[in-house]
Amino acid sequence: MNRLAWTSLGLSLSFAAGAAAAQQAAPPTVSVSGQAARLCRIGAPKVQVGSAVNLGAVDGQTINISSLADSATLSTKAISFDIDFDALCNFSHAVQLSSDRGGLWRVATGAASSATFADGVPYHATLVWAGTQSTLEASAASVAPKTQVLDVNSPAGGALVVQFRVDSGATDKGAGVPLAAGTYQDTLTVTLGPQ
Amino acid sequence: MARITCLAAAALALPGAALATPASEGPAPTTAAFSLSGAAPKACGLGTAGQSTLDIGEMVDASTGELAAISNPPSTSITGSWCNTASTVSVVATPLVAQSFAGQPPTGFTKAVNYTATVSAWSTNAAAFATNGNEAGVQRDTTPGSQPQPAPTATTIDVAVGSFAAPAASDFLVADTDYSGAITITLTPNS
């Protein structure tokens, strides 16, 4: 690599280490790393009162129906309202909508009603989330839990909506059957988590 | 460097031998002139980083899903760096990008986290580069941050990261166990 040169009249020594061009240091790389944990969040329910039909008082997480029975027929009066939740999952996930009782069922306080009167009210609860939807049919066929699962193959965030609907005259004993007097109740639960 | 010195010493010994010849043993001494010249090329060398990876750790704020405030991120030093002439230190970096998340993130989410890489202790002012990735991790500007050093220098270079930010403040981070970016440091002799 070094170079030695002689001239005729004298001695000339020339040393050059390496190429004539300036040498640039090879760039080292420092890596930077981090991680983002899997996370799902869901906020408190917010009932969209403005567009609701037959909606009564909302007390925290308890939603009261204004008039479950039509005053003239004593059968079910139509109900419609939407419930919004601020929600987030930062990975592919599943949303589960579950009913504790599979319908709005009369809370038993005495003897069972006869076939003349209905004890249960079926409803539909449609989950709208991440550009897709899925409906839980709480058909009031029996007092039993019911669950609907919606798989979402991407992260999602924003408003998760549950559209709650009861059809006019819908009962467990058939259309238009009058409802037995009492309190009718069910609990809906929305769960976000891994698939 | 050591080889150059040795050769120069051997060359210098040649005329010395001629002058040592006694005048009584022959003709008057003659002289021969010679010149010496050498050139040391401009060069720089970068040492080894104390830590090859700066691990930021968990980046998600569990209460919001957005980027957490990252305080006291790790730093490192590159020891044994030198330039034998005036030089320029440059730094460029890539955003932290989720390595396992394929494709574009959904609206409102990001698979990239930006930060500023700072290289100090070489020049009077630190050289810095702020990554500018979008939610998909694509950078629009990769012009390195540079600072001059007017004198030959041999010192330790410090590398730090900070100012972490999502492309949009309201972005949620997609989950991933491996967000990775890279900082590239260059020492260049000035022409």
Q: Which of B56, B58, B188 sits opposite A37 (nearest CB)?
A: B58
Q: Distance, in angstroms, between B138 CA and closest chain A CA?
A: 17
C-alpha–C-alpha distance, residues A83 and A42, integer Å: 13
- Here the ipTM equals 0.82
Alpha carbon of B47: minimum distance to chain A alpha carbons (Å): 8
Q: What is the C-alpha to C-alpha distance for residues B144 and B128, in angstroms, rounded to an integer?
A: 8
Q: Give the distance from residue A152's alpha carbon to the nearest chain B alpha carbon, in angstroms.
A: 12
Q: Is residue B78 within 8 Å of B117, Cβ to Cβ? A: no
Contact between A17 and B1 using a beta-carbon 8 Å cutoff: yes
Which 8-state DSSP code applies to residue A24?
P
> How far apart are the C-alpha atoms of B122 and B144, rounded to whole Å?
16
Which is more confident, A184 or B7? Answer: A184
* A134-166 pLDDT tens trace: 999 999 999 999 999 999 999 999 999 999 999
- Sort out which chain A residues have CB atoms less than 8 A from B65's CB and list them: 39, 41, 88, 90, 157
**Residues of chain A positioned with their CB less than 8 A from the CB of B1:** 17
Measured in angstroms, the CA of B55 and the nearest CA of chain A are apart by 5
For residue B20, the 8-state DSSP code is T
pLDDT digits (tens, 9 = 90+) for B128-169: 999 999 999 999 999 999 999 999 999 999 999 999 999 999
Instruction: For residues B61 and B67, give the distance between their C-alpha atoms in angstroms, rounded to a whole number.
Output: 6
* CB pair distance less than 8 Å for B175 and A39: yes
pLDDT of residue A23: 66
pLDDT at B114 over 50: yes
CA distance B187 to B161: 19
**Segment A78-96 mean pLDDT:** 96
Mutation for testing the A interface, residue in B174, B178, B184, B191 having most A CBs under 10 Å: B174
